[in-house]
Amino acid sequence: MAATTARGGLARMEQRWGVALALPAIVGFLLFTAGPMLASFVVSLTDWTIGGKTNWVGLDNYRVMFGDDDLFWKSLRVTLYYTLLAVPLGLAVGFVVALLLNRDVRGRGVFRVLYYLPVLVPSVASAVLWTWIYNPDFGLLNQLLRGAGLPTGQWIYDSSSAVPSLAIMSAWGFGNAAVIFLAGLQGVPRHLHEAIEVDGGGAWARFRFVTLPMMTPTIFYNLVMSLIATFQVFNEAYVMTSGGPDNATLFYNFYLYRTAFTEGRLGYASALAWVLFLLVVVATSLVFRSARRWVYYETGDGR
């Protein structure tokens, strides 16, 4: 009986310590995440403007957004277009570089550092650098094209090529994805490659039947993170294009910022923020549902 009582007292003490240690994180979440989110939803039901009178309008902001706001639909199309370009390109570049860095060559550590350096460049500094690279008159890219006898372009200064140019720029920061891919590649069992070799398979067979299936969980993780990041792209439009030309780079996050802090319509901007949150939830949910068909796990039931 005494031993049982002692164990019960120890369990209660561990429970109290667990709650006490978790309390700062819980309080921080309530004050700095859940609280502001709830407040922004309440604000989205008003017509609050900076320095103006606030009135309760209910769902009018959402009705205007979906029914009368052409810029909302424009920003949504631009963001989706950028996502469809930047996500596959970034994943492909990161995966190829990881395959190269996984090879046993001299100076491999130096190459890994060099390939990761672009990630360490602040995003604003990177945007300024690429603005110079894309300059149609004296930019580095057009100078290289002229030197090679190839046609030049207007890049971010033309509405048809602005978003593809920014998608190419985003692939420059492949370092994070490459590091995660590299960690996944080093976890692929060597004996599976050896089994393919014994059966007479070459490099393509090893990649197709071993490397790629074993890397699908890592690809899935990078896909989700890249998808969320592209929905929140902002610095490129703010620093490089200001949403132009002709609203060709009016990304959703930039439109939200402009509505809130340039036009001062905080109520409408809060409604935009909640729609963005729901879009991210829906997009990631679809990716998670699709994962059942293509993500392979070595343990358990497989897929």
Rounded to whole angstroms, the Cα distance separating 132 from 236 reads: 13
Mean pLDDT of 204-233: 93
Mean pLDDT of 48-56: 89
pLDDT digits (tens, 9 = 90+) for 104-119: 777 778 888 888 888 8
Q: What is the pLDDT of residue 113?
A: 85
What CATH number belongs to 60-294? 1.10.3720.10
Mean pLDDT of 106-134: 88
* Residue (of 44, 40, 69, 50) closest to 263 by Cα position: 50
Domain boundary assignment for the chain:
1-44, 60-294
Q: What is the pTM of this model?
A: 0.89
Confidence of residue 2 (pLDDT cuts 50, 70, 90): low
Does position 301 have pLDDT exceeding 60, yes or no? Answer: no
- B/e letters for 75-89, b = 16+ CB within 10 Å, e = fewer, are bbebbeebbebbbeb
Q: How far is CA 184 from the centre of its chain?
A: 19
Does position 167 have pLDDT exceeding 70, yes or no? Answer: yes
3-state secondary structure 130-177: HHHHCCCCCCHHHHHHHHCCCCCCCHHHCCCCHHHHHHHHHHCCCHHH
Among 36-40, 110-114, 171-175, 237-241, the minimum mean pLDDT is found in: 110-114
Q: What is the pLDDT of residue 302?
A: 46
The count of C-alpha atoms lying within 13 angstroms of the C-alpha of 152, restricted to the half-sphere facing its C-beta, is 17
